[in-house]
């Protein structure tokens, strides 16, 4: 498989975490997206590597992309602080737990879309929700979940929390 796709929504309020991610080979489409994300920075969309601490990036190499325009220093610090650490820790724990095979870490890359609400206040919740959502997204991606059968079986009862319907 050249591309795995994962998604997860965790939490509530302005600190809610919604992660969309791609996992794939460096030489495939995810690798191209990874390189493009790092090379194509724009105002309000500062993409960054997931690091456990400065000078300790995770493997597989993971680029975080903002899903909303970062509009101020507070929101930027939340992205470069609790959200960045949450994503990095989730990737590292997924490798340690065997969800991502350690022997593939140099061949794979991750592109991780992160949502930070402009009115988020609680850094602890930002960390907790983004950690849980990233872990769940990775696990779902690596297992190709949901399957087409599961999606079709559940679509009639599905209720999107932000649909307004």
Burial class (CB in 10 A: 0-12, 13-18, 19+), 31: buried
Strand pairing category for 108-114 and 61-66: parallel
- In the numeric block, the tokens 């095979």 are attached to 101
Cα dist from 73 to 81, 118, 130, whole Å = 12, 10, 19
Write down the catalytic residue from 18, 45, 117, 160: 18
The vertex-4 CA angle with 70 and 124, nearest 5°, equals 40
> Is position 45 annotated as part of the catalytic site?
no
Please check whether residue 18 is in contact with residue 9, taking contact to mean a CB–CB distance below 8 angstroms. Answer: yes
Cα dist from 47 to 112, 121, 140, 154, 160, whole Å = 10, 21, 23, 34, 28
| Residues annotated as part of the active site | 18
């Amino acid at each position: 498989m050249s591309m795995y796709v994962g998604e997860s929504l965790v939490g509530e309020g302005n600190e809610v975490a919604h992660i969309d991610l791609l996992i794939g080979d460096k030489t495939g489409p995810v690798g191209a997206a990874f390189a493009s994300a790092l090379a194509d920075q724009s105002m309000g969309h500062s993409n960054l590597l997931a690091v456990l601490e400065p000078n300790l990036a995770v493997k597989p190499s993971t680029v975080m992309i903002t899903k909303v325009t970062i509009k101020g220093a507070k929101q930027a610090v939340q992205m470069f602080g609790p959200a960045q650490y949450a994503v990095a820790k989730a990737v590292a724990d997924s490798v340690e737990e065997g969800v991502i095979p350690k022997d593939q870490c140099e061949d794979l890359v991750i592109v991780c879309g992160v949502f930070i609400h402009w009115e988020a206040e609680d850094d602890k919740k930002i960390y907790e929700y983004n950690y849980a959502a990233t872990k769940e997204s990775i696990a779902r991606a690596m297992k190709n979940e949901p399957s087409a059968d599961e999606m079709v079986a559940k679509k009639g009862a599905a209720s999107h929390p932000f649909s307004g319907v």
